[in-house]
A and B are shown apart, each in its own frame.
Chain A
Amino acid sequence: MKAIEVSHIVKTYNKGKTLAVDDVSFSVEKGEMFGLIGPDGSGKSSIFRILTTLLLPDKGSATVAGHDAVKEYKAIRSIVGYMPGRFSLYQDLSVEENLSFFATLFNTTIEENYSLIKDIYTQLEPFKTRRAGKLSGGMKQKLALCCALIHKPEVLFLDEPTTGVDVMSRKEFWEMLKRLQKEGITVLVSTSYMDEANMCDRIGLIQGGKLLRVNTPSNIIGEYPDRLYALKAGAPYRLLKDLSAYPERADSYSSGAYVHLRFKNPDQGSEGRLLEYLHSKGHEDVELKETEATVEDCFIRLME
């Protein structure tokens, strides 16, 4: 039995005018960490809301831990943990009160599943009498994760858990998720940060409600068919501008400190011609090297 099974889900809003999820199918194995990777508005949250029984799909079906997301919504609600993209705990209740409130709603206590949240909760403990609304962003997110875990769910749904959190906390957060996975919890996580994709066992690249590709991060990168170049020069912005006017390029965009570039029909002389072109445009200190594709490069290539 798969932990999550989604088949041909379609969801529209505004009486069918806005297509949010367009015939999406994928499945997640038990104990797997699956990432839905895509920009804002690509339909990730709608899929999460359908799987957590908050939204009804227009077409298609989905199961979570073997239960139908529409007919057996009650069974699903007691075995999944959900952390929405927006902080959704009671801001006027303290850390401890929030946690014990959600524990009681699931007919359990903090003590019963303390081992599961121990690592996270020990960091929260100094603030346990503080109101949730007064916590920092990273702490809020830890509390939300604790509340989603307090009933030892079989499947954990995390909708953009790291949005608006600093780099260190993000790294720490993913380490916590890895530990939870070791406890046997299936994790479905969404993110718009491409660099986080590598933390997942498998990822689904989603854009405009369509699932473009599902595979492991390394396979997705391995499937990248073209040679990819990274460029750097003294005047980065002018470089980007001049490259977009270069007739032989298929694609160019900035990526970190570099500009990534693909040629239309690469041959032996491609690199030399490009350097000549840039030289004629007055660029100095041009650095050109071949580079490994990242998930982001794959995504950008697939989007065309």
Chain B
Amino acid sequence: MRTLKFLLQKEFLQIFRNKALLPMMFIAPIIQLLILPQAANYTIKNINLSVVDFDHSPYSRRLADKIFSSGYFHSSGYPASAAEAIRLIEKDKADIILTIPLGFEDKLIKEGSQKVGVQVNAINGVKASVGNNYLSSILSDFNNDIRMEWLQPSRISNQPSIEIVSSYWYNPMLTYYIFMVPGILVFLVTLIGGNMTALNIVKEKEVGTIEQINVTPVRKSQFILGKLIPFWILGNVIFTVGLLIAWLVYGIIPLGSIPLLYLFAGVYLFALLGFGLLISTYSETQQQANSMIFLFVMIFNLMGGLFTPIESMPDWAQVITHVIPISYFIEVMRMIVLKGSGIRDILYHIGVVFSMGIILNGWAILNYRKTS
């Protein structure tokens, strides 16, 4: 115990003395939490729409007005011909072209139906599909409006109709940052926690200090604990800083219990530090460790359910997400913070992440023994 105390003392002394580490640990998360949630916004605005109006009728103008007044679209002009419109797409000035054919109004009134053309630039898939959806719903809305105007009031009451009224639970306004901030916080804790542990241990190898420690009576378990405990504490501190920012800047107050959040964060950090330790046993230099972490963090980032819902991934990818610890923490964060879930709802998650921690740490310690 006494030795461990001195190891911890030394570790904290080094951490507080490191000019790059502390700012990276605190300022970076603060800045990232302030910037990333604003940028990671799925609401697509400013879709450039060109309307090729061959009809020039009151109805066609009304349709265009309706579309632009929705706020999602930005007019990139009224080209006179289809060819001119295509050129706008080629120049990347327009994302969608709406073609209103000649006789739009006539046909709409006389025959009760009309077709319009929609051409979408699908270079940016998300923008294209979301824009197309918006446009379709505005078009069908326009369609309904017109039918309402024409139909006799008596016939409406006879017409059975189902109206869908949806309400969004846990995030009624579908505000993106409420959804993103908890996830991004998890990501930051992961990045900093895993990274720092691995780099710190590898640095002792690289500089050779581990050699000097190894010839002392210090046991390996003491050395490892002396490394894990400080970073476990720091991980919790960063987590706290993040929660404070979520509250102060975004007004996000966890609906569920805060001690429960910390319980899960503690278990998660245990697994994460095991991961960092494991990486450190497989690398000789900080550069090697860094490249390995980079590989995993990319996978964690894209497959952990932070940006894209896990449920919409292909089956094989969903299987992979089951072994990515970050996916559990992101889910639990959203559950506790937004939904107010209790301990029973997350017991499964705690169990899985704790087992991962046992496996990662066990593997790391076995490997650490073998290599030295």
Q: Closest CB-CB distance, A150 to chain B, in whole Å?
A: 10
Chain B CB within 8 A of A77 CB: yes
Chain B CB within 8 A of A82 CB: yes
CA of A54 to CA of B217 in the docked complex: distance in angstroms? 12
In contact, A88 and B217 (Cβ under 8 angstroms) = no
In contact, A89 and B214 (Cβ under 8 angstroms) = no
Q: Closest CB-CB distance, B280 to chain A, in whole Å?
A: 17
Q: Which residues of B contact A97 (CB under 8 A)?
A: 10, 13
Q: What 1/0 flags go to B16-27 for Cβ under 8 Å of A? A: 011000000000
How many contacts between A and B, using CB within 8 angstroms? 61
CA of A54 to CA of B6 in the docked complex: distance in angstroms? 23
Binds A, one of B102-110, B142-150, B205-213: B205-213
Q: How large is the interface on A (under 10, 10 to 19, 20 to 34, 35 or more residues)?
A: 20 to 34
Q: Which residues of B contact A102 (CB under 8 A)?
A: 212, 216
* Chain B interface mostly: helix
CA of A189 to CA of B2 in the docked complex: distance in angstroms? 32
Q: What 1/0 flags go to A154-170 for Cβ under 8 Å of B? A: 00000000000000000
CA of A52 to CA of B372 in the docked complex: distance in angstroms? 13
In contact, A90 and B10 (Cβ under 8 angstroms) = yes
In contact, B213 and A92 (Cβ under 8 angstroms) = no
Chain B CB within 8 A of A229 CB: no
Chain A CB within 8 A of B122 CB: no
Name which of B208, B209, B215, B372 has the most chain A CB atoms within 10 A of its CB.
B215
In contact, A92 and B216 (Cβ under 8 angstroms) = no
Q: Closest CB-CB distance, A64 to chain B, in whole Å?
A: 11
Q: Closest CB-CB distance, B295 to chain A, in whole Å?
A: 26
Chain B CB within 8 A of A114 CB: no
In contact, A105 and B207 (Cβ under 8 angstroms) = no
CA of A77 to CA of B216 in the docked complex: distance in angstroms? 5
Q: Closest CB-CB distance, A11 to chain B, in whole Å?
A: 15
Chain B CB within 8 A of A219 CB: no
Chain A CB within 8 A of B367 CB: no
In contact, B212 and A147 (Cβ under 8 angstroms) = yes
Chain B CB within 8 A of A224 CB: no
Residue of A nearest to B3 (CB): A105
CA of A290 to CA of B330 in the docked complex: distance in angstroms? 83
In contact, A93 and B13 (Cβ under 8 angstroms) = yes
In contact, B3 and A88 (Cβ under 8 angstroms) = no
In contact, B14 and A93 (Cβ under 8 angstroms) = yes
Q: Closest CB-CB distance, B152 to chain A, in whole Å?
A: 86
In contact, B215 and A74 (Cβ under 8 angstroms) = no
Chain B CB within 8 A of A218 CB: no
Partner of B217, one of A52, A74, A92, A101: A74
Q: Closest CB-CB distance, A180 to chain B, in whole Å?
A: 18
Name which of A77, A101, A102, A105 has the most chain B CB atoms within 10 A of its CB.
A105
Q: Closest CB-CB distance, A69 to chain B, in whole Å?
A: 12
Q: Closest CB-CB distance, A34 to chain B, in whole Å?
A: 19
In contact, A92 and B17 (Cβ under 8 angstroms) = yes
In contact, B372 and A54 (Cβ under 8 angstroms) = yes
Chain A CB within 8 A of B218 CB: yes
Contact A54/B211 with A92-B17, A93-B14, A101-B10 known, Cβ cut-off 8 Å: yes
Q: Closest CB-CB distance, A149 to chain B, in whole Å?
A: 13
Contact A105/B218 with A93-B10, A93-B13 known, Cβ cut-off 8 Å: yes
CA of A74 to CA of B13 in the docked complex: distance in angstroms? 28
In contact, A105 and B17 (Cβ under 8 angstroms) = no
CA of A90 to CA of B215 in the docked complex: distance in angstroms? 15
CA of A249 to CA of B15 in the docked complex: distance in angstroms? 63
In contact, A89 and B209 (Cβ under 8 angstroms) = yes
Q: Which residues of A contact B18 (CB under 8 A)?
A: 92
Q: Closest CB-CB distance, A101 to chain B, in whole Å?
A: 5
Chain B CB within 8 A of A84 CB: yes
Chain B CB within 8 A of A78 CB: yes
Residue of B nearest to A144 (CB): B212
Chain B CB within 8 A of A192 CB: no
Residue of B nearest to A55 (CB): B372
Q: Which residues of B contact A106 (CB under 8 A)?
A: 216-217
In contact, A84 and B212 (Cβ under 8 angstroms) = yes
Residue of B nearest to A84 (CB): B211
In contact, A82 and B14 (Cβ under 8 angstroms) = no
CA of A84 to CA of B210 in the docked complex: distance in angstroms? 11
Q: Which residues of B contact A25 (CB under 8 A)?
A: none
CA of A135 to CA of B372 in the docked complex: distance in angstroms? 30
Residue of B nearest to A102 (CB): B216
Q: Which residues of B contact A84 (CB under 8 A)?
A: 208, 211-212
Name which of B6, B213, B216 has the most chain A CB atoms within 10 A of its CB.
B216
Q: Which residues of A contact B209 (CB under 8 A)?
A: 88-90
Q: What 1/0 flags go to A75-89 for Cβ under 8 Å of B? A: 001101010101111
Partner of A86, one of B208, B213, B216, B218: B208
- 29 residue pairs A–B, Cβ–Cβ below 8 Å: A54-B211, A54-B214, A54-B215, A54-B372, A77-B214, A77-B216, A78-B217, A80-B215, A82-B215, A84-B208, A84-B211, A88-B208, A88-B209, A88-B211, A88-B212, A91-B207, A92-B14, A93-B17, A97-B13, A101-B6, A101-B10, A102-B216, A104-B2, A104-B3, A104-B6, A105-B213, A106-B216, A107-B3, A147-B212
Given A92-B18, A105-B213, 5 additional A-B pairs, CB 8 A: A77-B215, A77-B216, A78-B216, A84-B211, A90-B14
Residues of B within 8 A of A (CB): 2-3, 6, 10, 13-14, 17-18, 207-209, 211-218, 372
